Each structure stands twice: as C-alpha cells, then as structure tokens.
Structure 1
Amino acid sequence: MKKITKSLAVLLLATSIVSPATFAKSDQAKESLVALGDSIPFGYNLGQNYQNPAKTAYPYLIGASEDLRVRNLGIPGWQSEQLLSALQTEQKYRQAVIHADYVAITIGNNDLLQILREAGLESGGNQVLFRELLMQKLSNDDVFANIAAAIAETRSLTDAPIVLYNVYNPFQLNDPLHYVADPILPGINQAFSALAASNENVYVADAYAAFGDNQAEYVIQNDIHPTAAGQQVLADIGITALGLD
C-alpha cells in the first residue's frame, strides 16, 4: 500500500511539473497570419529602426487580439508589380503563404502615389493631368491586373481566407490633395471590391470608410502613413472582414 501511495505521489508531482507546458498553447501550435504588401502593414514611421516592421502595425495587432502567429512581409515602397513578382518567384513569400491560415494584402497605394508624382501634384501641380494619368493607368489595367494576379497566385498556394485592404485618403483636411483624392477613391475602391467578389474566400477591409475624414487622428502629420490609432483601426476592420470578431 505504501508503494502504491508513493507511486501516486510521484505521478501527481510529475503531472504538476509538466502540466503548464503540456496545456499551454505553443507558438508553433497557433494559427498564423501572413501580411503582404507595402509600408502600411510594415508600420512605417511608427518609431522603429526601419530594419524590421513595427510591432504596432496592424498585422501584429490582429495577432495579439486573435492569438495568431504573425509573419509580416510588408516592404516599404512596394508597388503591385513587385508583390506579384515576389509571390511568383521568391520562395520566402511562397512558403509563407503556403503555411498561412490567414493572409492580409495591402497594395496599390504606391502605384497611385506614383501617378500623383508624375502629375506634379505633390508640389501643387496639375489636377487635370493627375486625373488623366490616373484614368490612363487604370484603363490599361496595370494596377488592378497586378493585384488580381497577386490574389490568384496567393490562392494557388493556399485556400486560407484573404483580407484585401482598400485605399484610404492619406491627405489631411487642410491639404488640397484631400479634395483631389476624395472623389476619385470611391471608384478605385469599387475595383478592390470587384476583385474580392470575383475570388473565393477574399474579403475587403474598407479602410477608406473606416478612416473617413479623421486623418488628423489616423494619419501621421506631414506624412501619409497611419498613426498607431490608424493601425488599430486597420486591425479592427481586418478582424471583422475575416470573421474573427
């Protein structure tokens, strides 16, 4: 009887020692979110050293809220063509997507800003030229053909849900560019919605509506990138779009 009691005591002691590790969910056991795109998921200008994404960027906020492991592959300055090329040719991106449980894509912003620069609008240039260049590029399907192909490439690698962020107005209310961009962006964002609707398990996070005219709170002053509060908004709408809330 003493032997049995002693054995039970040893067993209980061993169980008490290993149970925290046994029952705690390891990081590798968590579902994963892979973020693809530009400086917005990277969290540019949020105080980091620019070698690594900011931990206050929306992918990490989603991960913290929903207990997801995050792989943030946002690259500042990237346009849609660069994301497409990476998904087609670079194993780092392909393998990350293959193993993803959720994918977030934010791309197209720099394509549109490039048109703005070509029209000289950053220095008060020609608004008519901006509209002409925008319509020309969009009619040639350069931007949305690349984004559509990037979604298709992503879908060829995984059947995970994809959240596609549309374009918010990055200009403050006291900036004339705000009123150049605002009437144009709804049409552009309709194209994002159409891309999502034409692909299975792809959902739009409506950054344009979420930011509205609250650039003073959600966009860094003298910049175009989200503040920490803006990143939280992007996280919230991403969680909702993916049905995680």
Structure 2
Amino acid sequence: MKKLIKTIVVVLLASLLVSPGAFAKSDNAKESLVAVGDSIPFGLNLGQTNQNPAKTSYPYLIGKLADLRVRNLGVSGWQSDQLLEALQNDQKYRQAIIHSDYVAVTIGNNDFLAILREAAIESGGNQLAFQQLLAAKLNQSDVFSNIQQIITEIRTLTDSPIVLYNVYNPFQLTDPLHYIVDPLLPDINDAFAGLAFSNEDVYLADAYTAFGNDQALYVLPGDIHPSNAGQAKLAEIGLDALGLY
C-alpha cells in the first residue's frame, strides 16, 4: 500500500509541474485538513517567492490524495511557544481548528535549531563544552511542555484526529552537524512518541525514520528544508498515520 501511495504522490508532483492549479482546493471536498507549525508544512524554498505556502508542501499533497480541503497555517521560523500563543489567542487559528476534520502539527524544529546555535556560540568552539551545553539545554527546554499544551489547546476546540510529526535530521551526510545531531534525535523523538501515545487520537508521523540518511534526496541542497521528494514522503507518512490511504 505504501508503494502505491508513493507512486500516486510522484504522479501528482509530475502533474503539478504541468498544471500550476493542480493542487487548488476542491470545493466539493467534504472534510478538511488544517496544518499548523513552522516552515516544513509551509514548504519553505519550494515556491518562487515564499510569500505563500508551497503547493507541493505535504498538507496539500495529503489534501489532494484524500480529497480534503486544506488550510495551511504553517509559519516559517515559528517555535513552539509562538504556535501555542496563536492557538490560544488568534481567532484565525482557533476558528480553523474548530472547523477542521484533521489537524497536522509540525513544530519544535526551530526550538532545537536555536538550542544548537546557542550551544555552538557559548562553547566557543570547544567540542566537549559544546556537547555538554547541548545536552543541558535540551534537558532544560520547555518545547515538549509547549507541544503538550498545543495538543491540549487543540482538544479544547475539536476532537479531530491529530497527526504529530517528529524531527528528521536536516543535515546532509557531508555536514559534520549530521553526526553531532543524529545521536540526540532518538531521545527527542521518543518524547514525540510519548506525546502521541499519551493523548487520545494523536498519531505519530515518524519523519526521522522516513528520511533516515537519505538527506540527499529528501532535503534541499544547501538547506535544511524538505525537497519536493521530502514533502512527498511527509505526505505519505501523514496519510498512513491518519489511515487516509
């Protein structure tokens, strides 16, 4: 079934190159997907201007495959506290969630990148100090508390199924950061799995395993964001997690 989904996604991506309107919302779709989070659901650097979410981002691919209307509210650069604030106080976000049938959440990536940058700066280039600072800052981070509050806030607005994406390694195998980050990600992603397991109707989309060490295929060159192939893979695992195949 996963091979069939992947084949369909590839065909859809090919059709998009021919028809810019191929991923427009279907007014006849009976259900809707609302995607919230950061630059990953937004599809940063896949469009020409980055002024609007890319139509090849995973929420639109899921919408096309499952015949869902899509509201893509991903914002580039957002951290978990910013998404939580929006869900608590921004009526655009609250109303979108209220009227959702499915919700996709991709957040935490920028929190972890900020921690990585802080540790690098504070360590002054000392490798041991960097590793120690990185571990300490991860332990002190409130990102998972924020994500739990995000899930709780969504649950006050809707009982729609939620797909929660975990964190893939964004660095190419030629980048030393790949090998610094990779040993940390299993524990980080265990926490994502715990959040999914401990909340009703929250399903994990395992981006870390799906991307593996195939960053050359799934991550844009010289970038940390998913390529079109990466977005297709995220759509595939999201469909699988929600049972929308």
- The normalised TM-score by structure 1 is 0.85
How many residues align structurally? Answer: 219
Query: Secondary structure in 2 aligned to 1:137?
Result: helix
Aligned to 1:70: 70
| Contact kept in structure 1, 2:33 and 2:68, CA below 8 Å | yes
- Structure 1 Cα separation of the partners of residues 76 and 125 of structure 2: 25
Q: Deviations over 1:185-232 (max 9, x none)?
A: 000000000001110000000000000000000001111000000000
User: Which protein, 1 or 2, shows the higher relative CO under an 8 Å CA cutoff with sep ≥ 6?
Assistant: 2
| Contact kept in structure 2, 1:84 and 1:149, CA below 8 Å | yes
Within-5 A mapping of 1:96-135: 96-120=96-120, 125-135=125-135
Aligned to 2:47: 47
Look up the equivalent residue of 2:73 and give its one-letter code. L
Answering whether residue 224 of structure 2 is matched by residue 224 of structure 1, we say yes
- Structure 2 Cα separation of the partners of residues 127 and 41 of structure 1: 33
| Contact kept in structure 2, 1:167 and 1:189, CA below 8 Å | yes
Aligned to 1:158: 158
RMSD: 1.7
Q: Deviations over 1:135-164 (max 9, x none)?
A: 333433511000110011011110000000
Within-5 A mapping of 1:2-41: 27=27, 29-41=29-41
Query: Secondary structure in 1 aligned to 2:183?
Result: coil
- Structure 2 Cα separation of the partners of residues 57 and 66 of structure 1: 15
| Contact kept in structure 2, 1:115 and 1:133, CA below 8 Å | no
Answering whether residue 91 of structure 2 is matched by residue 86 of structure 1, we say no
Structure 2 unaligned spans of 5+: 1-25
The alpha carbon displacement at 1:50 in A equals 1.4
- Structure 2 Cα separation of the partners of residues 61 and 143 of structure 1: 28
- Structure 2 Cα separation of the partners of residues 238 and 27 of structure 1: 22
* Structure number, greater radius of gyration: 1
- Structure 1 Cα separation of the partners of residues 177 and 237 of structure 2: 25
| Contact kept in structure 1, 2:33 and 2:102, CA below 8 Å | yes
| Contact kept in structure 1, 2:29 and 2:67, CA below 8 Å | no
Q: 1:128 to 1:35 in 2, by over 3 A?
A: farther
- The normalised TM-score by structure 2 is 0.85
Aligned to 1:23: none
- Structure 2 Cα separation of the partners of residues 200 and 103 of structure 1: 13
Structure 1 unaligned spans of 5+: 1-25
Q: Deviations over 1:35-59 (max 9, x none)?
A: 0000000000003311100000000
